[in-house]
Structure 1
Protein backbone atom coordinates (compact mmCIF):
# COMPACT_ATOMS: atom_id res chain seq x y z
CA UNK A 1 0.00 0.00 0.00
CA UNK A 2 2.95 2.34 -0.32
CA UNK A 3 3.79 2.32 3.39
CA UNK A 4 6.71 -0.08 3.21
CA UNK A 5 9.59 2.40 3.45
CA UNK A 6 8.38 5.31 5.50
CA UNK A 7 10.95 7.64 6.95
CA UNK A 8 10.76 7.65 10.74
CA UNK A 9 9.32 10.72 12.44
CA UNK A 10 11.55 11.60 15.37
CA UNK A 11 10.49 14.57 17.45
CA UNK A 12 12.52 16.83 19.68
CA UNK A 13 11.07 17.45 23.13
CA UNK A 14 10.11 20.97 22.03
CA UNK A 15 8.38 19.71 18.88
CA UNK A 16 6.47 17.05 20.82
CA UNK A 17 5.35 19.60 23.41
CA UNK A 18 4.23 22.06 20.73
CA UNK A 19 2.33 19.39 18.77
CA UNK A 20 0.61 18.08 21.90
CA UNK A 21 -0.39 21.64 22.78
CA UNK A 22 -1.79 22.26 19.29
CA UNK A 23 -3.67 18.95 19.33
CA UNK A 24 -5.45 19.59 22.63
CA UNK A 25 -5.91 23.37 22.78
CA UNK A 26 -9.46 24.47 21.94
CA UNK A 27 -8.27 27.68 20.34
CA UNK A 28 -6.13 25.87 17.76
CA UNK A 29 -7.54 25.87 14.23
CA UNK A 30 -9.12 22.50 13.46
CA UNK A 31 -6.82 21.80 10.52
CA UNK A 32 -3.68 22.51 12.50
CA UNK A 33 -4.90 20.36 15.39
CA UNK A 34 -5.50 17.45 13.02
CA UNK A 35 -2.06 17.87 11.43
CA UNK A 36 -0.51 17.81 14.90
CA UNK A 37 -2.39 14.58 15.66
CA UNK A 38 -1.16 13.06 12.39
CA UNK A 39 2.48 13.87 13.14
CA UNK A 40 2.19 12.63 16.73
CA UNK A 41 0.73 9.35 15.46
CA UNK A 42 3.56 9.04 12.93
CA UNK A 43 6.06 9.62 15.73
CA UNK A 44 4.51 6.64 17.57
CA UNK A 45 5.68 4.52 14.64
CA UNK A 46 2.30 4.18 12.94
CA UNK A 47 2.31 3.90 9.16
CA UNK A 48 0.08 6.10 7.00
CA UNK A 49 -2.62 3.43 6.74
CA UNK A 50 -2.82 3.08 10.53
CA UNK A 51 -2.86 6.85 11.02
CA UNK A 52 -5.66 7.20 8.47
CA UNK A 53 -7.77 4.45 10.04
CA UNK A 54 -7.33 5.73 13.59
CA UNK A 55 -7.97 9.39 12.75
CA UNK A 56 -10.68 8.85 10.12
CA UNK A 57 -8.77 10.51 7.28
CA UNK A 58 -7.45 9.47 3.87
CA UNK A 59 -4.09 7.69 3.71
CA UNK A 60 -2.82 10.30 1.25
CA UNK A 61 -3.63 13.01 3.81
CA UNK A 62 -1.49 11.25 6.42
CA UNK A 63 1.29 10.84 3.85
CA UNK A 64 1.13 14.53 2.83
CA UNK A 65 1.52 15.83 6.38
CA UNK A 66 4.20 13.28 7.31
CA UNK A 67 6.20 14.40 4.26
CA UNK A 68 5.69 18.11 4.90
CA UNK A 69 6.69 17.73 8.55
CA UNK A 70 9.83 15.80 7.65
CA UNK A 71 10.75 18.44 5.07
CA UNK A 72 9.86 21.62 6.98
CA UNK A 73 9.31 20.48 10.59
CA UNK A 74 6.69 22.54 12.50
CA UNK A 75 6.67 25.27 9.84
CA UNK A 76 5.43 22.67 7.32
CA UNK A 77 2.17 22.25 9.20
CA UNK A 78 1.03 25.84 8.70
CA UNK A 79 -1.54 26.63 6.03
CA UNK A 80 0.04 27.63 2.76
CA UNK A 81 -1.48 30.53 0.82
CA UNK A 82 -3.95 29.32 -1.79
CA UNK A 83 -4.18 30.68 -5.31
CA UNK A 84 -6.88 33.31 -5.75
CA UNK A 85 -7.24 34.01 -2.04
CA UNK A 86 -6.35 37.60 -1.12
Structure 2
Protein backbone atom coordinates (compact mmCIF):
# COMPACT_ATOMS: atom_id res chain seq x y z
CA UNK A 1 0.00 0.00 0.00
CA UNK A 2 1.25 3.43 -0.95
CA UNK A 3 2.07 5.82 1.89
CA UNK A 4 2.47 9.59 2.02
CA UNK A 5 1.03 12.31 -0.15
CA UNK A 6 0.31 11.45 -3.76
CA UNK A 7 2.82 12.87 -6.22
CA UNK A 8 2.07 14.42 -9.59
CA UNK A 9 3.07 12.23 -12.53
CA UNK A 10 6.56 12.90 -13.80
CA UNK A 11 6.82 11.93 -17.44
CA UNK A 12 9.78 13.02 -19.55
CA UNK A 13 10.07 13.53 -23.29
CA UNK A 14 13.02 12.04 -25.16
CA UNK A 15 14.51 15.54 -25.49
CA UNK A 16 14.14 16.17 -21.74
CA UNK A 17 15.82 12.85 -20.95
CA UNK A 18 18.74 13.79 -23.20
CA UNK A 19 19.10 17.21 -21.61
CA UNK A 20 18.89 15.82 -18.09
CA UNK A 21 21.40 13.06 -18.85
CA UNK A 22 23.81 15.62 -20.27
CA UNK A 23 23.45 17.81 -17.19
CA UNK A 24 23.78 14.83 -14.84
CA UNK A 25 27.21 14.06 -16.32
CA UNK A 26 28.67 17.42 -15.19
CA UNK A 27 32.08 16.50 -13.77
CA UNK A 28 32.32 19.56 -11.51
CA UNK A 29 32.36 18.50 -7.85
CA UNK A 30 29.17 19.55 -6.09
CA UNK A 31 27.44 20.50 -9.34
CA UNK A 32 23.89 21.51 -8.46
CA UNK A 33 22.80 21.04 -12.08
CA UNK A 34 24.08 17.46 -12.05
CA UNK A 35 22.40 16.63 -8.73
CA UNK A 36 19.05 18.16 -9.65
CA UNK A 37 19.07 16.47 -13.04
CA UNK A 38 19.84 13.09 -11.48
CA UNK A 39 17.00 13.57 -8.99
CA UNK A 40 14.56 14.15 -11.85
CA UNK A 41 15.88 11.20 -13.86
CA UNK A 42 15.59 8.87 -10.86
CA UNK A 43 12.09 10.06 -10.03
CA UNK A 44 11.00 9.61 -13.65
CA UNK A 45 11.94 5.93 -13.62
CA UNK A 46 9.60 5.39 -10.70
CA UNK A 47 11.86 5.48 -7.66
CA UNK A 48 10.27 6.88 -4.51
CA UNK A 49 11.53 10.14 -3.02
CA UNK A 50 12.98 8.10 -0.17
CA UNK A 51 14.88 5.79 -2.53
CA UNK A 52 16.23 8.71 -4.57
CA UNK A 53 17.28 10.54 -1.40
CA UNK A 54 19.17 7.50 -0.10
CA UNK A 55 20.80 6.83 -3.45
CA UNK A 56 22.01 10.41 -3.89
CA UNK A 57 22.71 11.25 -0.25
CA UNK A 58 20.19 14.08 0.07
CA UNK A 59 17.07 14.58 2.15
CA UNK A 60 13.63 13.42 1.04
CA UNK A 61 12.56 17.06 1.22
CA UNK A 62 15.22 18.01 -1.31
CA UNK A 63 14.02 15.32 -3.70
CA UNK A 64 10.40 16.36 -3.23
CA UNK A 65 11.25 20.02 -3.81
CA UNK A 66 13.07 19.53 -7.10
CA UNK A 67 10.62 16.90 -8.33
CA UNK A 68 7.64 19.18 -7.69
CA UNK A 69 9.34 22.19 -9.24
CA UNK A 70 10.26 20.24 -12.37
CA UNK A 71 6.71 18.91 -12.76
CA UNK A 72 5.33 22.46 -12.74
CA UNK A 73 8.11 24.53 -14.36
CA UNK A 74 10.25 21.97 -16.23
CA UNK A 75 13.84 23.21 -16.73
CA UNK A 76 13.20 26.75 -15.53
CA UNK A 77 12.16 25.28 -12.18
CA UNK A 78 15.58 23.74 -11.65
CA UNK A 79 17.23 27.17 -11.15
CA UNK A 80 20.20 26.21 -13.26
CA UNK A 81 22.17 29.25 -14.45
CA UNK A 82 22.61 29.62 -18.19
CA UNK A 83 26.16 28.94 -19.36
CA UNK A 84 26.98 29.49 -23.00
CA UNK A 85 29.39 26.54 -22.85
CA UNK A 86 26.56 24.08 -22.23
CA UNK A 87 24.33 23.77 -25.32
CA UNK A 88 21.45 22.41 -23.29
CA UNK A 89 21.42 25.45 -21.01
CA UNK A 90 22.60 28.34 -23.12
CA UNK A 91 21.69 27.12 -26.56
CA UNK A 92 23.86 26.42 -29.56
CA UNK A 93 25.57 29.37 -31.23
CA UNK A 94 23.53 30.65 -34.14
CA UNK A 95 24.48 32.49 -37.30
CA UNK A 96 24.69 36.14 -36.38
CA UNK A 97 21.51 38.04 -37.14
CA UNK A 98 22.43 41.58 -38.15
CA UNK A 99 19.70 44.10 -38.82
CA UNK A 100 19.94 47.12 -41.07
CA UNK A 101 18.92 50.42 -39.50
CA UNK A 102 15.74 50.34 -41.60
CA UNK A 103 14.88 46.79 -40.45
CA UNK A 104 15.55 47.63 -36.80
CA UNK A 105 13.33 50.73 -36.95
CA UNK A 106 10.53 48.79 -38.66
CA UNK A 107 10.74 45.95 -36.13
CA UNK A 108 10.80 48.35 -33.19
CA UNK A 109 7.63 50.01 -34.52
CA UNK A 110 5.94 46.62 -34.99
CA UNK A 111 7.05 45.49 -31.51
CA UNK A 112 4.94 48.17 -29.85
CA UNK A 113 1.70 46.79 -28.34
CA UNK A 114 -1.34 47.73 -30.43
CA UNK A 115 0.75 48.64 -33.49
CA UNK A 116 0.00 45.38 -35.28
CA UNK A 117 -1.70 42.01 -34.68
CA UNK A 118 -0.40 40.37 -31.50
CA UNK A 119 1.45 37.62 -33.42
CA UNK A 120 3.31 40.22 -35.49
CA UNK A 121 4.22 42.16 -32.33
CA UNK A 122 5.56 38.94 -30.75
CA UNK A 123 7.55 37.90 -33.82
CA UNK A 124 9.06 41.37 -34.11
CA UNK A 125 10.20 41.19 -30.48
CA UNK A 126 11.67 37.73 -31.09
CA UNK A 127 13.72 38.95 -34.06
CA UNK A 128 14.94 41.98 -32.12
CA UNK A 129 16.00 39.71 -29.24
CA UNK A 130 17.79 37.40 -31.71
CA UNK A 131 19.65 40.39 -33.14
CA UNK A 132 20.81 41.23 -29.60
CA UNK A 133 22.58 37.86 -29.55
CA UNK A 134 20.22 35.98 -27.23
CA UNK A 135 19.72 32.26 -27.79
CA UNK A 136 16.50 30.65 -28.92
CA UNK A 137 16.16 29.08 -25.47
CA UNK A 138 16.51 32.41 -23.65
CA UNK A 139 13.95 34.03 -25.95
CA UNK A 140 11.57 31.08 -25.65
CA UNK A 141 11.65 31.28 -21.86
CA UNK A 142 11.06 35.04 -21.86
CA UNK A 143 8.13 35.00 -24.27
CA UNK A 144 6.66 31.57 -23.34
CA UNK A 145 6.99 30.25 -26.88
CA UNK A 146 8.40 26.86 -27.84
CA UNK A 147 12.11 26.96 -28.58
CA UNK A 148 11.68 25.29 -31.97
CA UNK A 149 9.13 27.97 -32.89
CA UNK A 150 11.69 30.68 -32.11
CA UNK A 151 14.18 28.87 -34.33
CA UNK A 152 11.65 28.61 -37.15
CA UNK A 153 10.76 32.33 -36.96
CA UNK A 154 14.43 33.27 -36.82
CA UNK A 155 15.31 31.11 -39.83
CA UNK A 156 12.37 32.51 -41.78
CA UNK A 157 13.54 36.04 -41.06
CA UNK A 158 17.12 35.22 -42.13
CA UNK A 159 15.80 33.78 -45.40
CA UNK A 160 13.11 36.34 -46.25
CA UNK A 161 14.08 39.29 -44.04
CA UNK A 162 11.09 41.52 -43.15
CA UNK A 163 8.75 39.73 -45.55
CA UNK A 164 9.35 36.53 -43.59
CA UNK A 165 7.59 37.88 -40.51
CA UNK A 166 4.38 38.96 -42.20
CA UNK A 167 4.22 36.07 -44.69
CA UNK A 168 4.39 33.57 -41.82
CA UNK A 169 1.23 34.94 -40.24
CA UNK A 170 -1.04 33.48 -42.90
What range describes the TM-score normalised by the shorter chain of this pair? 0.7 to 0.9
Is the alpha carbon distance of 1:80 and 1:49 closer, same or farther for their aligned partners in structure 2, counting shifts above 3 Å? closer
Is the alpha carbon distance of 1:31 and 1:59 closer, same or farther for their aligned partners in structure 2, counting shifts above 3 Å? same
- Residue in 2 aligned with 1:57? 145
TM-score by length of 1: 0.85
- Residue in 2 aligned with 1:20? 108
Ranges in structure 1 where 5+ consecutive residues have no aligned partner: none
Instruction: Report if aligned partners of 2:136, 2:147 keep a CA contact under 8 Å in 1.
Output: yes
Alignment of 1:43-82 (within 5 A): 43-80=131-168
Mapped partners of 1:80, 1:32: distance in 2: 9
TM-score by length of 2: 0.45
Is the alpha carbon distance of 1:27 and 1:4 closer, same or farther for their aligned partners in structure 2, counting shifts above 3 Å? closer
Mapped partners of 2:140, 2:158: distance in 1: 18
* Structure with bigger gyration radius: 2
Q: RMSD over aligned Cα, in angstroms? A: 1.9
